[in-house]
Amino acid sequence: MAEKTVDKLRVVGTEARTAEGRRGWYLADREGLLSTLFLAPAVIYIVALVGIPFFLAIAFSLSDVTVGNTSLDFVGLDNFRSVTRTPQFVRALRNSFFFTIAAQIVVIILANVLAVIMSRDFRGKWLARFLIILPWAAPISLGTIGWVWILDSKFSPIDWVLVQAGLLGPGSIFGPGRNMLYLSKENLAIASTIMVHVWRVLPLATVILMAGMTSIPQDLLDQAEVDGASFWRTHFQVVLPLVMPIMAIALLFGLIFTFSDMVVPFVLTRGGPVYYTQVLPLWAWFKGISGGSLSEGAAVALFMFPVLLAVAILILRSARRQEVT
């Protein structure tokens, strides 16, 4: 009897373990459950770092909260009306659009040139790729500090080269002075800011376009060569139409990074001289953090959201229509 009881217990235990194993495999086979578990960390991360600050900014923009008074007293749209009436905001908004559009035009052109060159085989290709990607890999603050030294008002190496070449100084084409004062004159400061933005975003756009060009079937390029198509005709009628959706993604990243960036103008010019290089993210920081008016700073920052959202939707829809199947 004892032996039969033991055998029955063993059978029951085996069946229980088998049932548990089947239940475990059943849960593992449920795609809906697994997808939820795998997506949960990303969703929590986005909600914590993007969702909560975003809704907090909305609450701040509709209140009179300041650094010294953290009570959220509702004031409606008064903050938006207040900031939009200031000339600094108008200039910052105009500069944000101008810097972004001008920088991305240059980036798309140069990225196409570099992607075509990097897709060819030549000696030292690995070094060229390393130098191209280096600006993107380096911290933007350190890179911008380097540009501050390069564009220094007294000790700029660019000025020294121009002086030695006879292009800067008395009787030269760039003026009688020995310094260009890149960050102190309106037009030069604007051009310098756009140049640094191009330097920053160009590596990412180049890598994205390189990936797109390498995915083009070689048969198409060989067929174009057999048909006698020149390089320019092949590039504009075969390569560009195929990489246009990928180029749209590169453009989208560049627009977002440039329009929402405050590091370059902050480190380079602090928005100066006067407000000539002021942009929306930097003006929001000056109003909300430096000036202590959290409500007005949040109102300025929220102006970027509908603009970036509209641009993202427009570019993504355009990229989807341009896909070649």
Contact 250, 46 (CB under 8 A): no
Instruction: Judge whether residue 1 has pLDDT over 80.
Output: no
Per-residue pLDDT band at 139 (split at 50, 70, 90)? confident
For residue 27, is it within any domain? yes
Contact 243, 209 (CB under 8 A): yes
- At 324 the pLDDT is 53
**One domain, residues 203 and 302:** yes
Give exposure, 4-38, as e/b (b: 16+ Cβ within 10 Å). eeeeeeeeeeeeeeeeeeeeeeeeeeeeeeeeeee
**One domain, residues 245 and 145:** yes
**One domain, residues 96 and 137:** yes
Per-residue pLDDT band at 274 (split at 50, 70, 90)? confident
**In angstroms, how far is the first alpha carbon of the chain from the final one?**
74
Dist CA 134 CA 143 (whole Å): 10
Q: What is the pLDDT of residues 211-229, one digit of tens each?
A: 888 888 888 888 888 888 8
For residue 73, is it within any domain? no
Dist CA 25 CA 143 (whole Å): 52
Number of residues assigned to the chain = 325
Domain extent for 44: 1-57
**One domain, residues 100 and 199:** yes
Contact 224, 269 (CB under 8 A): no
- Summarize the confidence of residues 172-196 as an average pLDDT: 88
* Number of helices and strands in the chain (H, E): 16, 0
Instruction: Judge whether residue 209 has pLDDT over 50.
Output: yes
* Count of C-beta atoms within a 10 Å radius of residue 320: 10
Q: How does the average pLDDT of the chain come out, rounded?
A: 83
Cα separations in angstroms, 207 against 72, 107, 149, 178, 283: 46, 12, 28, 39, 32
Instruction: Judge whether residue 105 has pLDDT over 90.
Output: yes
**One domain, residues 91 and 41:** no
For residue 115, is it within any domain? yes
For residue 79, is it within any domain? no
For residue 215, is it within any domain? yes
Task: List strand residue ranges (DSSP E) for 127-212, in order.
Answer: none
Q: What is the pLDDT of residues 229-267, one digit of tens each?
A: 888 888 888 888 888 888 888 888 899 889 989 999 999
Contact 144, 267 (CB under 8 A): yes
- At 11 the pLDDT is 47
**One domain, residues 177 and 259:** yes
**One domain, residues 33 and 135:** no
> ∠164-167-170 over CA atoms, to 5°?
95
Q: How many domains would you assign to the chain? A: 2
Please spell the DSSP secondary structure of 127-194, one letter per residue: HHHHHHHHHHHS-HHHHHHHHHHHT-TTT-HHHHHHHHTTSSSTTSTT-SSS---TTTSHHHHHHHHH
For residue 212, is it within any domain? yes
- At 147 the pLDDT is 93
**One domain, residues 19 and 102:** no
Instruction: Judge whether residue 39 has pLDDT over 90.
Output: no
**One domain, residues 103 and 246:** yes
63 three-class SS: strand
Task: List strand residue ranges (DSSP E) for 113-265, in order.
Answer: none
Give the DSSP letter of residue 181.
-
For residue 66, is it within any domain? no
Place of tokens 């105009």: 94
For residue 78, is it within any domain? no
- At 277 the pLDDT is 92
Specify the CATH number for the domain of residue 260: 1.10.3720.10
Shortest CA distance to 96 belongs to which of 289, 312, 287, 256? 256
Per-residue pLDDT band at 9 (split at 50, 70, 90)? very low
* Count of C-beta atoms within a 10 Å radius of residue 61: 25
Contact 133, 203 (CB under 8 A): yes
**One domain, residues 185 and 266:** yes
**One domain, residues 42 and 153:** no
- At 14 the pLDDT is 54
Q: What percent of the chain has pLDDT over 70?
A: 89
Q: What percent of the chain has pLDDT over 90?
A: 21
- At 32 the pLDDT is 67
**One domain, residues 296 and 207:** yes
